[in-house]
């Protein structure tokens, strides 16, 4: 038997990893062999996961608490599972789902059942992510309809902005000169100056 490893993932720095660490500790995974990312599960471009992948060797055993901690992208979970189990020869145990334990059922039927369960759970994980995104979009749209503004608040315009706009529109100043006198970037001045011109019907 090879080495025991564990993988932990939380989506944000504010989320706690305690439950996952506790579960891996109960599985007797050495603390120094637990790799943790604080990052979205949308793909597998995560620094600690990539390090773990380099460490894993044939006959090593990898524990994760649940399939969505491994990732949330259906196709990529299946691809990583194939890389780990078939290319690297690593066994995987998903603690929340005893059927997903590649040490058991190494025969054709066991592998078949494990593959079906994995595909169903991977689909559920990605579907949940799609639902979350849809709810976020709906929430943002509802907030916009209520007049909530998103993004950084706009800086107030300089006191001489209107005067410089008039001189710029009259051709007395170039956009660069007017922007410099306002203490603004040229692109910002020209964009806001153009909008001001439209609003003033000049």
Residues annotated as part of the active site: 11
31: left (phi over 0), alpha (psi -120 to 50) or beta: alpha
What's the longest Cα–Cα distance across the chain?
84
Report residue 120: phi and psi, to 5°. -65, -50
62 contacts 25 by C-beta, under 8 angstroms:
no
Question: What is 106-161 written as a DSSP string?
Answer: -SHHHHHHHHHHHHHHHHHHHHHHHHHHHHHHHHHHHHHHTT---SSPPPPPPTTH
8: helix, strand or coil: strand
Of 115, 43, 55, 111, the closest CA to residue 88 belongs to 55
């Amino acid at each position: 038997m090879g080495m025991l490893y564990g993988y932990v993932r939380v989506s944000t720095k504010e989320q706690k990893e305690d439950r996952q660490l506790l579960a891996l500790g109960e599985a007797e995974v050495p603390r120094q062999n637990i790799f943790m990312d604080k990052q979205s599960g949308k793909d597998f471009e995560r620094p600690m996961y990539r390090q773990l992948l380099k460490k894993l060797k044939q006959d090593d055993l990898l524990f994760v608490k649940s399939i969505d901690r491994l990732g949330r992208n259906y196709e990529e979970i299946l691809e990583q599972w194939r890389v780990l189990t078939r290319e690297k020869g690593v066994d995987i145990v998903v603690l929340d789902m005893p059927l997903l334990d590649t040490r058991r059922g190494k025969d054709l039927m066991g592998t078949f059942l494990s593959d079906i369960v994995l595909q169903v759970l991977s689909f559920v994980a990605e579907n949940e992510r799609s639902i979350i995104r849809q709810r976020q979009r709906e929430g943002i749209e509802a907030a916009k309809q209520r007049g909530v503004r998103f993004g950084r608040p706009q800086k107030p315009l300089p006191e001489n902005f209107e005067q410089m706009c008039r001189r710029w529109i009259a051709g007395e100043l170039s956009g660069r000169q007017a922007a410099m006198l306002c203490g603004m970037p040229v692109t910002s001045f020209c964009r806001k100056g153009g909008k001001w011109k439209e609003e003033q019907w000049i």
